[in-house]
Structure 1
Amino acid sequence: MTAKEALKLLKEGNKRYVKGDLKHPHTDPERRHEIADAQHPFAVILSCADSRVVPELLFDQGLGDLFVIRVAGNVAKDKVFGSIEYAVKYLNSKLIVVLGHENCGAVNASLGDADPGGHIGSIIEKIKPAVYMARRMKGDLLTNAIKVNAQIVGEELKETKPILSDAVKTAGVEVVSAYYKLSNGEVEFLS
């Protein structure tokens, strides 16, 4: 499956989700048996760990369809890069979606200067460049920071050497950023 075909499936699934006309594909015992020995997810989704953001649901997909990595603020560091590289190199996934979402708590926490303590600070430090850029934009600061953060992470993924950057240049892998609206269920693709 090409990246464009994968993106079309995600968009169609999200339309069903928004309408409440879900198919819940690939959730039956036959599908479990079919994928027991191998997986071939058509897309990788890097989303926030927020409990309200469940990619399999909001894209109306089932078992084995998506390779999902969830981390607060949908930020990427070595372990996330490695997980995505694995999906691209060994599972042949052609589409990577970085999914930010409305009212993201991690991004909201990054708007201030307070030290949150613990390891939360490492997440906030990854988001801060998006906040700085969003401060120069018109519109809602939080919404802009969430969207810019997803785009920055998407660009980082495209440039991650050697596996992801090579796959984008030569193997038809595409990276897109998106923004999930909790209020209506719609996913807006940003790039």
Structure 2
Amino acid sequence: MAIAQRAAPERAALTRGHTADRIRVLLDEGNARWRTFTPRYPHQDSGRRRALWEADAEHPFASVLGCADSRVPPEMLFDRGLGDLYTVRAYGQVPDSSVAGSLVHGVRDLATPLLVVLGHSRCSAVREAVTALRTGRVPEGHMGFLVEGILDAIEDVPDDGARDFLDACVRANTVHVADQLRHEPGLRELVHSGELRIEPALYSIKRSRVEWLGDRPEYRPGPDSAVPSQRPSDTP
């Protein structure tokens, strides 16, 4: 069954005819408000809480795989609220079985047609992988598992000792994770059918801006792209 057909009634207007492009516009607009210090804090009022409680279900319109870094909360930097984003966070966005399973649930069961892999500048997880790459010493235990996952993504990035090498590795890791997920069982069929789009993006802590790293042409918002109001009956 198609994602749009599985979507809950209260988000049907969003998924029907707009899907991933429309959702990306909403995320872009929310990030613009965040970085210009004009957030609207949508879907965070008492009515939204009551609506979610009464519905006894969740119907987010996008999935986000972000880093566990405390400086990069997706709901804040996209200026969204309760029930809007299905968010999974892991150090360096490394997609182990738990992360992948959670994302499959978000796409398959919650019908989110856009999955954003959100890397960020100054990522300490990638920094640890860079150190391991340069020294040949990988940490033991759980940290070693995470570092090794990132090493797969950055080992071919040219290292000329420049200050922007870390940024280049962050980008490479983000794109690599997005590509991994496109081939993940439970996701690849939806990617191939066009029901799901997986896009890598990079958040700059300094500039507060989300930059999309995919090769799709920029999608410019139309006249109906304003963020919906906070009334519980509205679409996300």
Distance apart, 1:116 and its partner CA: 2.5
Identify which range, 16-25 or 124-133, moves more after superposition: 124-133
2:71 is matched with: 52
Instruction: Name 1:148's counterpart in structure 2.
Output: 172
3-state SS, counterpart of residue 100 of structure 1: strand
SS at match of 2:87: strand
2:173 maps to amino acid:
N
Question: Highest relative contact order (Cα 8 Å, sep 6+), 1 or 2?
Answer: 2
1:84 aligns with 2:103: yes
Q: For 2:103 and 2:28, locate their aligned partners in 1 and report how far apart those are by CA, in whole Å.
A: 21
Q: CA deviation at 1:112?
A: 1.9
Q: Deviations over 1:56-112 (max 9, x none)?
A: 000000000001111100110111111010011111101000011010000000012
Q: Which residue of 1 aligns with 2:20?
A: 3
Q: Does 1:119 align with 2:147?
A: no
What is the CA–CA distance in structure 1 between the aligned matches of 2:51 and 2:187, rounded to whole Å? 28
Partner of 1:169: 192
Give the whole-Å Cα distance in 1 for the aligned partners of 2:160 and 2:119. Answer: 18
The Cα shift of 1:49 comes to 0.3
**Measured at CA, do residues 134 and 26 of structure 1 come closer, stay the same or move farther in structure 2, by a change above 3 Å?**
same
Match of residue 201 from structure 2:
178
Greater Cα radius of gyration, structure 1 or 2 = 2
SS of equivalent residue, structure 1 residue 122: helix
Q: C-alpha separation between the residues in 2 aligned to 1:136 and 1:111?
A: 10
Check the 8 A contact 1:133/1:148 in 2, yes or no. no
C-alpha RMSD of matched pairs (Å): 1.5
Report the CA distance between 1:117 and its aligned residue.
Answer: 2.8
* Structure 1 stretches of 4+ moved >2 Å: 113-118, 135-139
Q: What is the TM-score normalised by the length of structure 1? A: 0.95
Displacement after TM superposition at 1:167 (Å): 1.0
- Aligned counterpart, 1:20: 37
Which amino acid in 2 is paired with 1:142? L
Report deviation, 1:33. Answer: 1.6
Helix, strand or coil: the match of 2:141?
coil
TM-score, normalised to structure 2, is 0.77
Give 1:171 shift. Answer: 4.9
**Counterpart in the other structure of 2:232:** none
Contact 1:130 1:146 in 2 (8 A): no
**Corresponding residue to 1:131 among 154, 160, 163:** 154
Q: Deviations over 1:160-183 (max 9, x none)?
A: 12x200111225210000110000
